[in-house]
Chains A and B, each alone.
Chain A
């Protein structure tokens, strides 16, 4: 029998090891799996490389993980935002590494990683500072750069509804990177507002098939990052 349910966020993320690469879903606060990230803070795993579009805000969620000294390197497209000081301060002080990737290239690198594709050519960033050090090749009269697929040890993502098999449905623009990250990680951990028994989801409407998911944690009323930041919360 397949039942991927796990009782608590901590139990679900305790498999994360020092120096792991962790993909974390979300675009800004939409889709950010706050409860899973806070559980990752609690594990104390260090030396992490984190893949996320941004670097979190305030001192909760991803920003809390960074502030806690657990992240060595960020791979992202837009590492600053309105309420973000944790990453910028550490970056200026030379205490955290940054691999800056155009957003579409980031998405495609993750998609490729999840599909077993080692690398691909794209015209994005040709002739810019972000092309430096990458192989160039012309196809049909246009210049492309070689970008490598991205994989991870663990992905932490947020869904609206999951079933025990790990089939997932998301909420609006909270979907963003989650479906591709689920394919690119060896272990994918999901927090879902509703966890249903198999058969509850219409197979036509499943967005992420359960094969890409390893564990499902019920988080019925997930926190909103902006509300936590506004309340002045600092995690842990």
Chain B
């Protein structure tokens, strides 16, 4: 039931692995619930990344071994996690001071839509019948200096998620810096979407065709142009 034959891009794990490669050693990072969480499994060897979860833990580790979990040691998705050596616990105001005060280096979030000016919609489909729930999404995008999005390039029905202007309710205005999809890595610039990397086997035209806003090919651009 797809509108267009979808090209074979990266798997979810490959996307997580690719995004993880761009997270620098020593970074304090918040990973959104869902696909961005998978990045934690792919941090390159030799790098130390401190994961923040907004319910009050810095130094979040992987899921506990079966039977060893603690219902009072959970992440923002309310799943049981572990605390690594050097971890700290803190209250919610301190946790969001880290976010809102600009102390975290990076967050990676999922998206319903990203607009070419960096607007992000990821908290509500605006459905009349839906229960509105925002969590910490609006705080993350307004407070953290680098906001990356990790998402499939199109919806399940083949609609582009990268658009000129969001149709869903906004999470933040002009907040997204970079987008990792199954097909490409795209930066949000003053000139709109700029392609910086294609996934293996994916053509520029294939990405253009599935992006509902102009796309500049940043791979051939020189600084002085």
Is A15 in the interface zone, CB < 8 Å from B?
no
CA distance A176 to B132 in the complex (A): 22
Listed residue (B92, B100, B129, B135) with the most chain A CB atoms within 10 angstroms of its CB: B92
Cβ of A172 and Cβ of B91 under 8 Å apart?
no
Fill in one digit per residue for B134-158: 1 if any A CB lies within 8 Å of its CB, else 0.
Answer: 1111110011000000000000000
- Docked Cα-Cα span, A113 to B186, in Å, equals 42
**Is B134 touching A170 in the complex (CB atoms < 8 A)?**
no
Total A-B pairs in contact (CB under 8 Å)?
142
Q: Do A123 and B136 touch across chains, with their CB atoms under 8 A apart?
A: no
Given A27-B55, A122-B100, residue A107 in contact with residue B92 (CB < 8 A): yes
Q: Is the CB of A103 within 8 A of B173?
A: no
Which residues in B have their C-beta under 8 angstroms from that of A82? 78
Contact-size category for A = 35 or more
* Contacts known (A30-B71, A110-B93); A103 close to B129, Cβ less than 8 A: no
Residue A129 contacts which of B89, B129, B142, B169 (CB distance < 8 angstroms)? B169
Whether A172 contacts B136 in the complex (CB less than 8 A), given A30-B74, A87-B131, A224-B71, comes out as no
B32 contacts partner chain A, Cβ-Cβ < 8 Å: no
A178 touches which of B91, B143, B173 (Cβ 8 Å): B91
Question: Which one, A110, A122, A172, contacts B72 given CB within 8 A?
Answer: A172
14 A-B pairs with C-beta separation under 8 A? A30-B74, A30-B78, A77-B134, A78-B133, A78-B134, A78-B135, A103-B135, A104-B100, A108-B100, A124-B100, A124-B143, A126-B172, A172-B89, A174-B72
- Chain B residues with a Cβ under 8 A of chain A: 53-57, 70-74, 78, 83, 89-93, 95-96, 99-100, 124, 129, 131-139, 142-143, 169-173
